[in-house]
Every structure is written in C-alpha cells, then in structure tokens.
Amino acid sequence: MLGSLTACTQSPTGRSQVLLFSENDMQRLGEQSFAQLKEQETISADGALNRYVQCVTNHLVAEVPGGGQWEVVLFDSKQVNAFALPGGKVGVYSGLFTVAETQDQLAAVIGHEIAHVLARHSNERVSRTQLTNIGLSAADTALGQSGLRQPAMAALGLGVQVGYLLPYGREQEAEADRLGLQLMARAGFDPQQSVALWRNMSAQSGSQPPELLSTHPSHGTRIQGLSALMPEASNLYMQARAQGKQPACRR
C-alpha cells in the first residue's frame, strides 16, 4: 500500500529519492514557514549587512537554472545559522558572521543551504517523516493495549532514529556540501574558503556530540569531504574567474 503512495526519482547527484509531494506543495509550505519565521524572529535593520547578504545570494542564484529572484532576510540573532526553503527563500542569522568572516565563507554557507532546496531535500524529509508516521500509527494499532505496547514503541522509535533517518540526514548533508561547493565555485567564490569556514566553526563550537548521535557529519568529516571535492571545485572556480565572475560583496 505504501508503495502506491510514493514517487521515486533521483537527486542531482543520481541518488534515489522518495518524494510524496509536488513542487507546488513544497513551495506553499516554504512560503508559509518563511512568513511565520518573519513574524517570530527579529529582522535586522542593518542596511549594509542586508545588502551584503543579498549581494552574495544574488551571485549564487545567478548560477541556478531558472534562478529568478530569491527573497533574502537577515535575522538579528546570535544563532550561527542560515537556511533556505522551497519557493526561493533564504534566511541568515547575524550570528553567522562570527564564523563566516569573508564573502566566500558566507557563500559557502548560503550555497550549501540553496543546494538543499535544489536537491529537494525538504520534500525528502517531509516525505520520509510522513512514511515513518504511517508506520508508527500502524504499529500502534497492531499493539493495541497490550503490556508490550510502550516498550515496543520506544524500541521502534530508537530504531528509526539511529537506524534509518540518521544516515539519511548525513547523506543529504554530504550531497548539499558537494552541490553547494560547485555552486559557489561557478559563481566565482573561492571554494577553498569552505574549508576555512568549517575550521572556524570547529574552533568556535569546541567539543561536539559523537558523530553517531548527530544528524550532521562531524566538522572533521565535513572538512575531509570538502577537501576531496576541491580539485573539481577549483577547476570550476578558475573557469568562472576567467569568465569575469568576480564577486565584490562587502560588509
């Protein structure tokens, strides 16, 4: 029965994906979520920083097929974070500037987030959650009111967390690293700065939880992965510079 609900496709890197929702569905969800965030969070009134973030994003989006105009909002918050949502939405928290010290490092972050959208990772995540919830509901009904219900549900939840959804999240992150690195290089941003960014991130965050218990790769794993992709990204960067793509976004 679940098989009849799924739509199987491939990500930009050729990885198999299960998507349950249309692009219109995801765009609507992204727009609604972004509107809610803008109501809940404090939007920065710093004109120079807003222009800076918009400038970096514009150069990246120019390399996206059919890129269009993405809405960019800078939130006044100490969070070291950024995100992108379906429907062409980008949010950056001002705390990110404590680790993203240059335009290239900021491009590495925003490029990574845009890559999540281009690879339809939000659709994957929502689809997988929907399928998981269907499975949990079925298990709950089958177990009924028996004495085994609570421990069995706990075991199923643990199995889902570390046995299926967790590796899936890391796979998405690695894919977004690869696509984001290509995107920033094509836009004329130095891909080597992505490694510098994650070294800054590692220095600031200090000790991390064990990689087994995190949906994101450790900083060391991420740096290794980016370094392995650098020859291809460097070629794209040199081609972009030869074409006159030389971003000059300043804070």
What are the residue numbers of the active site?
A: 113
Q: What is the dihedral of CA 216, 205, 107, 214, to 10 degrees?
A: 0
Question: What phi-psi label fits residue 161: left (phi over 0), alpha (psi between -120 and 50 degrees) or beta?
Answer: alpha
Q: Which two tokens stand for residue 221?
A: 């794993």
Q: 17 in helix, strand or coil?
A: strand
DSSP state of 8: E
How far does the chain reach from its first CA to its final CA, in angstroms?
54
Under a CB-based contact definition with an 8 Å cutoff, are residues 76 and 44 in contact?
yes
d(CA 113, CA 177): 9
Q: Tokens 């979520």 appear where?
A: 33
CB 175 within 8 A of CB 115: yes
Answer positive or negative: Cα dihedral of 117, 118, 123, 129.
negative
- Per the DSSP assignment, residues forming a β-bridge with 16 are 10
